[in-house]
C-alpha cells in the first residue's frame, strides 16, 4: 500500500491495494490512519462487488440504511442491498431517469455543499463511494477541509461561534431545490441538532459543521442565524480549502463527514450514464443536551 498526498494535509491517494483480496481489518486500520491525516482518500483500481464494498465498509463501524426516498416498490432490481445509497442518474433497470422522475429533483440537492447525515442524531463517520460508470466529462466531486477552515477563522469569530448549536434537516435542504416530500417520507426523519464547532474523536482537531442541511442557529433569529451559516459556508469553501476529485472507473473514494463537506458538480445527465454507489458509516457526533 502506497500513499501520495494531493495537497498539504488534505486529500490523498492509495495505490497498490486490492480490496477484493486485502479487505481485512488490518487494511481498514491502515486506511483509518491515512484518513485521520488527509480527511479524503481515494483507493484506485478497485473492481469490487456490492457485497465486497459493504463488507469492507463494515470494518469501520455500523452502516446506515438508505431510506430510498423517491423510489417505487420495485426499485430493488439494480440496488439490491439496503446499505447502498444510489448516487446515479439511473432507474432500477439501468436506464437514464426521465426528466419527470422525482428522484432527479431529490438528487439535485447533492450539488450543494453538505456533509452526509448531519440531520441524523450522531451524523455520519466515513462515506465510501465506488465508481462503476463515469461520464466522459464533468461529474467531479469537490471536498472542503473544514478543519483548515476553522483554523483560518479569526479569533473573534472562533470565540463568537463557540458552543453554538445548529438545527439540521433533510427537509430543509431538499426544499431548497424544490423537492416535495410525501406524507410517508415526512414520517421517516425529524430534524436534529449539532454543535457548530466539532472536535474530531480521533485526531482532536476542531472543525466547522455547516452545509445545506443546516437550517438555522438555535437561539438566534432565523435570518440572522442563516446569514452566519452562509458566511461560514462561503468562507470554508474558498479554493484554498477545496480538493476536486476527477473520477475514474474503479475509484473507491472515502471521506470523513466529521471534518469535511462535499458537493457534486454537473454533467450532461440526460445523455450520459453515471453509476456510483455509496456506503456510509453511522457517526459518533456528540448529542446536544436538551
Identify the residue with better confidence: 77 or 137: 137
Q: Got the DSSP string for 228-245?
A: HHHHHHHHHTSGGGEEEE
Report residue 69's pLDDT band, with 50, 70 and 90 as the boundaries. Answer: very low
104-125 tens-digit pLDDT: 998 899 999 999 999 999 999 9
Q: 14 phi and psi, to 5 degrees?
A: -115, 125
Report residue 52's pLDDT band, with 50, 70 and 90 as the boundaries. Answer: very high
Report residue 70's pLDDT band, with 50, 70 and 90 as the boundaries. Answer: very low
H-state helical runs in 135-175: 146-152, 155-161, 170-175
Report residue 260's pLDDT band, with 50, 70 and 90 as the boundaries. Answer: very high
Find out whether 142 and 244 touch, Cβ atoms under 8 Å. yes
Identify the residue with better confidence: 13 or 67: 13
**In this predicted structure, what is the pLDDT of residue 241?**
97
**The total number of residues written for the chain in this structure:** 290
Rounded CA-CA distance 195/214 in Å is: 11
Structural domains of the chain, with CATH: 2-282 (3.60.130.10)
Is the pTM here over 0.85, yes or no? yes
What's the chain's average pLDDT? 93
**In this predicted structure, what is the pLDDT of residue 184?**
82
Query: Per-residue pLDDT for 247 more than 90?
Result: yes
Helix (H, G, I), strand (E, B) or coil at 173: helix
Q: Got the DSSP string for 7-22?
A: SSSS-EEEES--HHHH
**Lowest-confidence segment of 39-43, 71-75, 125-129, 275-279 by average pLDDT:** 71-75
Report residue 76's pLDDT band, with 50, 70 and 90 as the boundaries. Answer: low
Rounded CA-CA distance 175/106 in Å is: 9
Percent of the chain having pLDDT more than 70? 97
Amino acid at each position: 500500500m502506497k500513499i501520495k498526498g494531493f495537497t498539504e494535509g488534505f486529500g490523498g491517494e492509495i495505490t497498490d491495494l486490492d480490496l477484493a483480496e486485502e479487505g481485512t481489518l488490518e487494511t481498514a486500520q491502515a486506511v483509518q490512519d491515512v484518513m485521520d491525516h488527509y480527511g479524503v482518500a481515494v483507493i484506485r483500481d478497485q473492481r469490487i462487488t456490492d457485497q465486497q464494498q459493504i463488507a469492507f465498509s463494515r470494518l469501520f463501524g455500523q452502516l446506515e440504511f438508505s431510506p430510498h426516498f423517491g423510489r417505487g416498490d420495485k426499485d430493488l432490481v439494480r440496488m439490491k442491498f439496503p446499505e447502498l445509497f444510489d448516487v446515479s442518474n439511473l432507474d432500477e433497470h439501468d436506464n437514464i431517469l426521465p426528466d419527470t422522475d422525482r428522484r432527479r429533483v431529490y438528487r439535485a440537492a447533492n450539488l450543494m455543499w453538505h456533509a452526509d447525515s448531519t440531520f441524523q442524531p450522531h451524523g455520519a463517520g466515513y462515506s465510501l463511494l465506488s465508481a462503476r460508470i463515469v461520464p466522459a466529462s464533468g461529474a467531479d466531486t469537490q471536498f472542503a477541509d473544514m478543519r483548515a477552515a476553522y483554523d483560518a477563522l479569526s479569533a473573534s469569530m472562533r470565540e463568537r461561534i463557540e458552543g453554538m448549536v445548529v438545527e439540521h434537516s433533510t427537509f430543509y435542504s431538499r426544499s431548497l431545490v424544490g423537492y416535495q416530500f410525501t406524507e410517508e417520507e415526512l414520517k421517516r426523519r425529524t430534524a436534529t441538532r449539532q454543535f457548530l464547532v466539532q472536535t474530531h474523536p480521533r485526531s482532536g482537531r476542531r472543525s466547522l459543521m455547516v452545509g445545506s442541511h443546516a437550517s438555522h442557529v438555535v437561539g438566534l433569529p432565523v435570518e440572522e442565524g442563516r446569514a452566519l451559516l452562509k458566511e461560514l459556508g462561503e468562507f470554508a469553501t474558498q479554493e484554498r480549502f477545496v480538493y476536486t476529485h476527477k473520477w475514474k472507473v474503479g475509484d473507491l473514494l472515502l471521506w470523513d463527514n466529521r471534518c469535511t463537506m462535499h458537493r457534486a458538480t454537473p454533467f450532461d445527465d440526460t445523455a450520459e450514464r453515471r453509476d456510483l454507489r455509496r456506503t456510509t458509516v453511522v457517526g459518533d457526533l456528540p448529542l446536544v443536551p436538551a
